[in-house]
Amino acid sequence: MKTKDIFRCAACGAQSPRWQGQCPSCKEWNTLESITVNKKRASSVNAAAAQDRPQPLEDLHSEQYSTRTSGMESLDELLGSGLVPGAAILLGGEPGIGKSTLLLQLAGSQAKLGHTAVYLSGEESLPQLRGRAERLDLLGPGLLAMASNKVEDALAVLDAPNPPELLIVDSVQTLASPLADGIPGSVSQVRAVSGELVEKTKKTGTTLILVGHVTKDGQIAGPKLLEHMVDTVLYLEGDRKHFSRILRVLKNRFGPSDELVVFTMKEKGLEVVADPATFFLGARDPSLSGTAMALAVDGQRPFAVEVQALVCKSFLTIPRRTALGFDTNRLNLLLAVLEKRLRLNLSGHDIYAKITGGLAYKDPGLDLAVVAAIMSSFYDQPLPESAVFWGEIDLNGQVRPVAAHDVRLKQADRLGHDPICHSGTAGTLADLQRVLFGKRN
């Protein structure tokens, strides 16, 4: 069995991975003593040998694992049916996007429902947490909080005679375990901390939510193993300069993995957008040229979004091509198709295209709307006021059908759009050009 040396305070019993002159817990001087421990606790090994034995699945009672509501109906639908006892959830997102606010609201909702929720913060002090909870009007007897950077404190909460129904750890990169080397946030520490917490919550039935930092590429920091260890991976995304936020499911063992919830940031925290179908349109003026409405599908939800394009004469040697909200390479491809199939002279023009609302999509169904917006700006003619577009453009200028066609069509009918332009109504770009602008090649 591998061993390692740690330092224990003779006055209060607190442990530290390295020697210090002053105990970080009780502030006494010269009380840390070196002791040798096994890297794997013998008690946990004995407990596993005594309890973790194969059992017949038919003898297990499903009532012991019944879900409970989170207090947010949209979040229950996102997770499948609510919070599952013993489940481990990982929430990622950029700094300042609203992860702590959302989880504090969730903890407050659990407290109002009569459950006990513990919010463990390794980044903020208790006065800071209280100030935020007071601003969000969440203070109550069932909402508990603690500030610590040691995983032993979180394990002690789970080992209590009455463990909480919900434990939130914000964040997993700030906790340190004496069973691993390295500083908090390192690969070894994240693996050890998450492994201990997930193993303990599976036995106690507490729902665990871990907050994960992200890298500059938008990936959750730490080993990829972390995403495999948990049951559900959520990601909160959005532009901090806009008020909208999207909570997306990347992995879910208890429900669908392609759902999302749209929030808007208010003074009292994040509020669910009841009908996000037209939320991202904003104050759209259809009488202007260069704007087209598209029905994009994200997960299983159709969203009506506005695509804008600006085509203007260029004075540069190489005309500028800029795309916001979708891939620039896709914009260049669509422009090449327009020049080849419709003989539009776009080589001397700067072309800008964007999706309003701060959204970013990879839906190929946006192709037709992007092309319609570009032609509208090129001819300086507005599109029909209630027109809506979706369809993929191939290299031959054909409009191809895309996924979730029936879902988009049903949503377009519900919103009263007419005309509806897709692969069934506009077979080629030439057809689209003739119907919308009365022009031929």
Rg, the chain, Cα only? 27
Q: Does residue 63 register a pLDDT over 70?
A: no
Q: Which pLDDT band holds residue 268 (cuts at 50, 70, 90)? A: confident
Return the C-alpha torsion angle 397, 398, 404, 407, nearest 10.
100
Tens-place pLDDT, residues 321-345: 999 999 999 999 999 999 999 999 9
H-helix or E-strand spanning residue 203: helix 187-204
User: Could you tell me the two tokens for 159?
Assistant: 């080992």
Residue positions counted in the chain:
441
Given pLDDT bands bounded at 50, 70 and 90, which one contains residue 33? Answer: confident
* Residue 99 known to bind ligand: yes
Query: Does 417 score more than 70 pLDDT?
Result: yes
Task: State both tokens at 422.
Answer: 């897709």
Residues in a beta bridge with 143: 117
The pLDDT, as a whole number, for residue 3 is 67
The one-letter amino acid at 74 = S
Average pLDDT over residues 221-228: 80
Q: Is residue 92 a contact partner of residue 238, using CB atoms and an 8 Å limit?
A: no
pLDDT at 30: 86
pLDDT at 257 over 90: no
On the question of pLDDT at 400 being above 50, the answer is yes
**At residue 37, what is the residue type?**
V
Q: Is 98 annotated as a binding residue?
A: yes
Q: Is 374 annotated as a binding-site member?
A: no
DSSP state of 384: P
CA distance 205 to 179: 24
Of the candidates 233, 238, 294, 314, the one whose C-alpha atom is nearest the C-alpha of residue 270 is 238
Q: Using CB atoms within 10 A of its CB, is residue 318 exposed (0-12), middle (13-18) or buried (19+)?
A: exposed
286 preceded by cis ω (within 30°)? no
Residue 112 · residue 140 · CB < 8 Å: yes
Question: What is the mean predicted confidence (pLDDT) over 107-125?
Answer: 92
Q: Average of pLDDT values for 2-26?
A: 78
367's tokens: 């192709």
Q: Torsions phi, psi of 147, nearest 5?
A: -115, 120
User: Please, what is the average pLDDT of the chain?
Assistant: 86
Does 97 show up as a binding residue in the annotation?
A: yes
How far is 344 from 375, CA to CA, in rounded Å? 9
Q: Is residue 118 within 8 Å of residue 168, measured between CB atoms? A: yes
pLDDT digits (tens, 9 = 90+) for 280-332: 777 778 889 999 999 988 877 888 899 999 999 999 999 999 999 999 999 99
